[in-house]
Chains A and B, each alone.
Chain A
């Protein structure tokens, strides 16, 4: 178990290194000189040179990369060109809302997806199965922003039921919860389909397994056979596949945050790119990538914990 986790961690290190290297090179190809930006428009060449030396920009590229990694490890991602706020500070303020949105989306979409997938798999070929599968194909085909805009138009604007712009407060306040509902519904909405589809396949595989036949043969009720014997074993592949879909969810979160003006990392990243705020863009992309790698790693280890057969592989 520990060996497996260590092995995966070792494999993730070069990927993380690659992300940081790409993030560093990003700053080399953009047409802006950070020293000139920091010095301001009235600076003399002497001042700019001094800032260059101070930032280490007069050093060879390899030394600069070393400096960059050193600063990164100390939590220094530079400062925004636009408002001079440290990138880390902005990231700290936006990570919470993004996690809130993702967790709230998973909170309702995974149980619903598993329920629909189990029903579809159990009554394979029935009208219900066809309806659920049609819904699931529609779910993976619909743009997230379409769902979001429709929710804003009907629930927010026409029926005036819920707020639809921004985050009204932290998750533990009533206002905060209310403002989270519509974004979480639209982001989770596109996640139900894939989960239902994966669960259906897994349930179909498990229902024909020997141990399920045995459970039926010894006279267990159908409900017990499905919940205890079939669903439990079907969960292993479903958990992994859900983990692999986190990237899909992250992409959806970027769009959802923009639609609902939700103050998360995705919206911060898009805003930084559109306003050519390179340090901010670099910082947000690196942090999103690293976060994604860590989630993948966690899923991988969790999978091994659930299914002992994986550990040797």
Chain B
């Protein structure tokens, strides 16, 4: 292979630095990556890190401010250790977001691939259906699903998944249509491969960067929407620790013990901000041509 290179007079491009190093060149993105890793670790290891049980309450400690003895972040209105609640709340919120992006993104990506692959007959119907779904704001979908299934974590996950499907389908379709025009797809088709194999082995891998960038950005949005639905009382029900629900509980004690509401709010803000900044940076690092 070296012979082939030596015979050309064209200058050889310097090796492209890896995605990670390009990502880390941006200090904001590097900080956010560290934050995201720490937050996920905190959620995963919550049972080991938490000093108490999330449902243990001691009314004598109710509304203790941050910095009290044994309570670095204070206690909530029921006298539960806020740092424990926060660690487990992080767990529930992140899991809800993860489930919604996985389910909604998975279904959306499949629909996007199918629409692009069978462009002649399926593209129109699928994408019109997606336009219809897209015409509903996520909170409205959340209200409708909560009205049907009753408030709860499952309702929120369903609503956020449904709201994610059309967005992912659009992005994957757009990305797949570009790949479909490339010669190697034609070549692979000429070898007599089945459609399913073509889609999974040849089409999908080339759309992964678009999927990954969108999933990262969407994760932040989904956490924000999920916490809003829980704040409204339509999501996680007390006493389950969930960041939005915790903020909602704390709202009643805003004037006596503002930390109960403020601390979960700050954590939600940090998670969403970290995922948004990371998603933007990831897009620039993976493929600057992506625009969404």
Contact = CB atoms under 8 A, between A and B. Distances in A.
Interface residues of A, number: 44
Given A141-B220, A141-B276, A270 B234 contact: yes
B254 A157 contact: yes
Interface in B138-175: 138-140, 143-144, 146-148, 151
Contacts of A269: 143
Interface stretch (B10-18, B100-108, B199-207, B255-263): B255-263
Interface in B276-292: 276-277, 280
Contact of A141 (B137, B224, B225, B244): B224
Interface string A102-145: 00000000000000000000000000000000000110111111
Contacts of A30: 147-148
Contacts, number: 122
B233 interface: yes
B151 to A, nearest CB: 7
A142 B269 contact: yes
Interface stretch (A92-100, A211-219, A220-228, A288-296): A288-296
Contacts of B146: 273
Contacts of A248: 137
A143 B151 contact: no
A270 B228 CA distance: 12
Interface in A282-304: 282, 284-285, 288-289, 292-293, 296
Nearest to B265: A146
Contacts of A145: 228, 231, 244, 247-248, 251, 265
B110 interface: no
Contacts of A313: none
A137 B273 contact: yes
A288 B225 CA distance: 18
B272 interface: yes
Contacts of B228: 143-145, 251, 255
A153 interface: yes
Contacts of A101: none
Contacts of A282: 147
A63 to B, nearest CB: 23
A251 B137 contact: yes
Contacts of B144: 22, 26, 285
16 contacts: A137-B280, A138-B273, A143-B224, A143-B247, A145-B228, A146-B266, A149-B265, A247-B135, A247-B136, A251-B140, A251-B228, A274-B233, A285-B140, A288-B140, A292-B135, A292-B136
Given A30-B148, A153-B258, 16 more contacts: A22-B144, A30-B147, A141-B224, A142-B272, A143-B247, A145-B265, A146-B269, A149-B262, A152-B254, A157-B255, A248-B137, A251-B228, A259-B251, A273-B146, A281-B147, A288-B140
